[in-house]
Amino acid sequence: MNTMDNSHDASGSTPVLRLQRLDADLPLPVRAHPTDAGIDLHAAHDCNLAPGHRMLVGTGVAITLPAGFVGLVHPRSGLAARAGLSIVNAPGTVDAAYRGEIKVNLINLDPTDTVHIARGDRIAQLLIQRVELWDVAEVEELDQTDRGTGGHGSTGGHARLT
């Protein structure tokens, strides 16, 4: 495989993510099932997260994406349900031109229990999506719409606060 060619495979076959392992002893990130959306990312080191605490955890991998694509670092629902583990900036944005190690800003949202992460644990999942790159043009006025400036619950039906 030509490691310099980072173009998206337009032939109709599954695109290939060019991924560099910065830590050869960690497992290669893969999809748990062939059609899963996310590629599971592993923790590069142990960490203990007390309730409410957060930590930037390396994954030991770097990737190359062509322009027009983005990597999104999503939490894993099992860890969220079982341990209250999430990601501070979910989903994290991995820019196409970023060549550094992908890191995950984990946070323990459980009110009472510490979360123990071991090196090699699957802590997050990477989704790759197309993204449109828009230029910005400043205007004096915006077009009129029915919604106008109404937002943040303007249509009602939201939960009551106690």
Binding footprint of ligand DUT on the chain (CB under 6 A): 73, 89, 92-95, 98, 102-105
Rounded Cα distance between 140 and 38, Å, is 41
- 122-130/39-42 β-pairing: antiparallel
CB 111, min distance to ligand DUT, A: 24
Give the type of residue at 42. Answer: H
Name the nearest CA neighbour of 28 among 116, 97, 120, 102. 120
CB 105, min distance to ligand DUT, A: 6
CB 157, min distance to ligand DUT, A: 32
Rounded Cα distance between 83 and 129, Å, is 28
Residue 94 annotated in ligand binding: yes
Residue 78 annotated in ligand binding: yes
Residue with Cβ nearer ligand DUT (100 or 150): 100
Residue with Cβ nearer ligand DUT (7 or 89): 89
Q: Name residue, tokens 């980072």.
A: 6
Residue 93 annotated in ligand binding: yes
Joined tokens for residue 154: 């303007």
Residue 95 annotated in ligand binding: yes
Binding residues for substrate, by number, are 76-78, 89, 93-95
